[in-house]
Structure 1
Amino acid sequence: MSVTDVTNWLTEPWLEHSRALYPKLVEFRRDLHRHPELSMQEVETTRKIREFLENESITILPLDLPVGVLAEIKGAYPGPTIALRADIDALPVQEETGLPYASTVSGKMHACGHDFHTAAILGAAVLLKKHERLLHGSVRLLFQPAEEKGTGAQAMIEAGALEGIAAIFGMHNKPDLPVGTIGLAPGPLMASVDGFKIKVRGKGGHAAVPDAAIDPIVAASAIVGGIQTAVSRNTSPFDRVVVSVCSFHAGTTWNVIPDTAVLDGTVRTFRPEVRHEMPDRLQRIATGIAAGYGASVELSWYSGIPTVNNDAAAVDIVREAADGLRLTVVDAVPSAGGEDFAHYQEKIPGCFLWMGTGGTEEWHHPKFTLDEEALIPGAALFTLTAVHGLHKVKAE
């Protein structure tokens, strides 16, 4: 890309261009919000995205998945291919916002703002298409299903969505940041998410004769508290680890000590070394506690999504774009939440950022809202990020 081309891009009034699109993006976002679809059920959402892109003469690429959209804007000059990703699924949450465009589907809601992500990336797609004559390379658009299940990114990868991609960029709205502010940080931003099941085996009996039984409920209750030492006493205080037991099932009636109790939970970590150590730590602690009660345990471990780990050079690309738009950039505070954007980053460099949306509640809350004005800096930022990315990265 020549200096002249870069200057043309930098001097374009991108926020003004984005603001001109605002009514159209709001209309699209609200339509998705009214009609949320759960993971791998995003049939109408997929159709609407395709229709929007086709109306803008943006090329739809083949994607061997029942839901999700892959599209591409090819520049006038040769160069690398950059990817912009949005997730498109909703949650099984009953909306309580009272908004005039609230969900019309009982028990389903865009309570995580994926409708916002989708609309913002569509805005960037429109701006990039209108200026494709200046592009040195191509911009691929990934509208990914099933982020909430943590399976959509891997499905997109297996379908070939990353082929030829040099770098990828994505975002999550952040209700606690004001509109016009973004959070950026290199390195770990969101935790890996793994699951576990601990089955505690005791000996059933009569509730009136506990000495003749081995009560798995008592042993399991001690394990719930005891496994917290995997964080407080077995892990460095400089490593962020969260262990949560979220399900406890035992027994069938009020006067019978059962044979077994089952605990289900999640472990969230930020470093691969710590992640790999956690199954053995939980096994060791649970086994020791159970043995003290005469019980035994079986631990099952379910590997989930890895850590969102931002590439420093990719972060710099976004920072440069944000500076060009005069957005406020703050240090991103890491979240123990998980994001399957991490699967893309295992394959290619990428940056995941926080986009300030000035909302009232946190993600997944039934009263979750956001300030739609954030669509303006959102679309502009990803437009300029793509341009800077094409200029900075090497072709795959």
Structure 2
Amino acid sequence: MKEILKWYREFHAIPEVGWKEFKTTEKIASILEEMGVGYERFSEMTGIIAEIGQGDEVIAVRADIDALWQEVDGVWQGNHSCGHDANIAMVLGAILYLREKPLKKKIRFIFQPAEEKGEGALALIEKGVMEQVTHLFGIHLRPIEELPLGKVSASIRHGAHVSLIGKVEGIDAHAARPHQGKNSLDVIVALHQLLNTIYIDPSEACSVKLTKVIAGGESINIIPGAAEFAIDVRAQKNDVLAKIRTQVEHIINHLEELFGNKIDWEWSGYTPAAEVSHEAEKVAEGAIKSLLGEEGFAPSVVTPGGDDFHFYTIKKPQIKASMIGVGANLQPGLHHPKMNFDQSALVQGAQILAETIHRA
């Protein structure tokens, strides 16, 4: 439908980073008003909630609305290279298809801010957006290597991710007198080696690696007493991530004792892995096959990428949830500054999402 493509282009032209999606929120409200759909805004934050239908039980649908901040052709700017502008357009398109249909339940459309910061879902859970919700659906375009145009998956199985940010504190010393200081790089080198001794079942997809080290200055004859570091931890399952976290903490505590350097650290940016409901997945599968046939249905997409969508089911495990993956010949890839895709997939995605909601 022309409206969906028009909306996509309008959102694409106003990319805004997390918690600053002011124009985006205004635009969503304007479109909802044009469709005659009731909505609620938040006085202290961006984002918007819309509802159609009636009933005690609620089917929820989530669209993330923020953009990335990245360098494009040498200029730092907001950029919808993750496709959230497409997600908004598809969810609004689903409302367009559903608003005239007989509905036995209430449908709640959640236009969520700050997904890229990993904070939006948690904030909206605090706002009570999951009250009375039995099923939750999301939708997201997928890279071409995962799904080509014309293929749609009933679920995206994102991995879990967390970062550790740390600082080693020691004592600077002249390079000729190393015994007078406490070399932070000794600790960093040992940390790097010990992280490689974390052994997890090889059948489990996971990784743990040192991703940042800052130590020393312009003078190369000074042994640095302080060093900053970061560790990236990823796993396809939440319990595996938890095991790795425990081992990382043990290593850091051991190094602090071994070298006598104080190490300050904290975990940051946790995003859980997908907990997909088989029931919700089957509902989406039925919708996909009814519109695209067997040839258009694709198996579940498994990706190490993350999404804060899964906080909803971690915090509310009774909710049956799944995120639909839409093939759109998207390339070179998500988060690439020049990401592009076949826009005809937006109409297809909106139709499948609407049918999924109707079946649920």
Confirm or deny a common fold (TM above 0.5): yes
Q: Which amino acid aligns with 2:211?
A: C
2:8 equivalent in structure 1: 29
User: How far did residue 300 of structure 1 move?
Assistant: 2.5
Stretch deviating more after TM superposition (203-212 or 351-360):
203-212
- Percent identical pairs in the alignment equals 30
Q: In 2 relative to 1, CA 160–288 (structure 1 residues): closer, same or farther, beyond 3 Å?
A: closer
2:207 equivalent in structure 1: 242
Alpha-carbon separation, structure 1, partners of 2:321 and 2:161? 19
User: How far did residue 374 of structure 1 move?
Assistant: 0.6
Stretch deviating more after TM superposition (288-297 or 351-360):
288-297
Alpha-carbon separation, structure 2, partners of 1:330 and 1:243? 30
1:14 equivalent in structure 2: none
1:107 equivalent in structure 2: 77
Flag structure 1 segments of 5+ consecutive residues without an equivalent.
1-20, 98-104, 390-396
2:90 equivalent in structure 1: 120
For 1:175-199, what per-residue CA distance to the aligned partner results, in whole angstroms no more than 9, with x for missing partners? 22112212235xx811222221233
Q: Map residues 317-336 of structure 1 onto 2, 5 A cutoff.
A: 317-326=283-292, 328-336=296-304
| 1:48 aligned counterpart, secondary structure | helix
For 1:309-332, what per-residue CA distance to the aligned partner results, in whole angstroms no more than 9, with x for missing partners? 110100000000001112522222
* Contact preservation (8 Å) 2:327, 2:345: yes
Q: Which amino acid aligns with 1:247?
A: K
1:61 equivalent in structure 2: 40
1:135 equivalent in structure 2: 103
Q: TM-score, normalized by length of structure 2?
A: 0.90
Alpha-carbon separation, structure 2, partners of 1:220 and 1:128? 56
User: How far did residue 248 of structure 1 move?
Assistant: 1.2
| 2:6 aligned counterpart, secondary structure | helix
User: How far did residue 152 of structure 1 move?
Assistant: 0.6
Flag structure 2 segments of 5+ consecutive residues without an equivalent.
none
* Contact preservation (8 Å) 2:154, 2:288: no
User: How far did residue 61 of structure 1 move?
Assistant: 3.0
| 1:32 aligned counterpart, secondary structure | helix
Q: Map residues 223-302 of structure 1 onto 2, 5 A cutoff.
A: 223-230=191-198, 233=199, 235-254=200-219, 255-288=221-254, 295=261, 297-302=263-268
Q: In 2 relative to 1, CA 62–164 (structure 1 residues): closer, same or farther, beyond 3 Å?
A: farther
Pick the aligned partner of 1:367 from 322, 328, 338: 338
Q: In 2 relative to 1, CA 184–229 (structure 1 residues): closer, same or farther, beyond 3 Å?
A: farther
CA RMSD of aligned residues (A): 2.3
Q: Which amino acid aligns with 1:124?
A: A
* Contact preservation (8 Å) 1:207, 1:256: yes
1:38 equivalent in structure 2: 17
Q: Map residues 50-199 of structure 1 onto 2, 5 A cutoff.
A: 50-74=29-53, 78=55, 80-96=57-73, 106-131=76-101, 134-176=102-144, 177-185=147-155, 189-199=157-167
User: How far did residue 24 of structure 1 move?
Assistant: 1.8
2:357 equivalent in structure 1: 386
Q: TM-score, normalized by length of structure 1?
A: 0.82
2:308 equivalent in structure 1: 340
* Contact preservation (8 Å) 2:274, 2:310: yes
Q: Which amino acid aligns with 1:86?
A: A
Alpha-carbon separation, structure 1, partners of 2:71 and 2:268? 28
